[in-house]
């Protein structure tokens, strides 16, 4: 009887772990294995991106995390309102060796956007909600870390 009660307690304990609790566990990974932070700036306001899948490594080991699709990551996120053709600037603590920016609308039409030397790009001209996925690769630097990561954010052109 004691074994049955212990087993049921364990099942309820595991089942009770919420999505937020599991996310918190994954957020507690070592800073050594965290990719650089990426934000975006519109006018004078700075906004955070959502972390996408990544693989980050040092000389001895690596940590890789596979997350849901960009659409799922920002599903419940309110879009940042922007004007058509407004300039958006990417801000990051470490410059990547390679990067791409892909934009997708609700019709799942996706295209790559050009990023200029100042890490800027233009919002679409047509009204709508857009999901942007920034993907970057970092070569090993003086800290001995390298890797790749994706970041996601959502805008609404009005």
Residue 6 confidence class, pLDDT cut points 50, 70, 90: very low
Residue 71 has pLDDT above 60, yes or no: yes
- Tell me what pLDDT residue 32 has: 62
Domain chopping of the chain, boundaries? 31-157
d(C-alpha 49, C-alpha 38), whole Å: 6
- What pLDDT, in 10s, does the model give residues 94-137? 999 999 999 999 887 899 999 999 999 999 999 999 999 999 99
What's the CATH fold of domain 31-157? Answer: Immunoglobulin-like (2.60.40)
pTM of the model: 0.79
Calculate mean pLDDT across residues 68-85.
96
């Amino acid at each position: 009887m004691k074994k049955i009660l212990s087993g049921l307690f364990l099942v309820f304990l595991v089942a009770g772990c919420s999505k937020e609790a599991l996310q918190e566990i994954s957020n507690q990974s070592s800073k050594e294995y965290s990719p650089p932070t990426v934000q975006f700036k519109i006018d004078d306001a700075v906004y955070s991106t959502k972390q996408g899948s990544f693989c980050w490594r040092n000389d001895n080991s690596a940590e890789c995390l596979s997350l849901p699709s960009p659409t799922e990551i920002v599903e419940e996120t309110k879009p940042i309102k922007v004007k058509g053709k407004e300039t958006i600037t990417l801000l990051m603590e470490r410059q990547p060796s390679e990067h791409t920016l892909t934009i997708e609308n609700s019709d799942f039409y996706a295209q790559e956007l050009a990023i200029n030397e100042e890490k800027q790009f233009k919002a679409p001209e047509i009204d709508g909600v857009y999901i942007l996925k920034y993907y970057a690769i970092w070569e090993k630097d003086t800290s001995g870390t390298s890797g790749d990561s994706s970041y996601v954010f959502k805008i609404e052109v009005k």
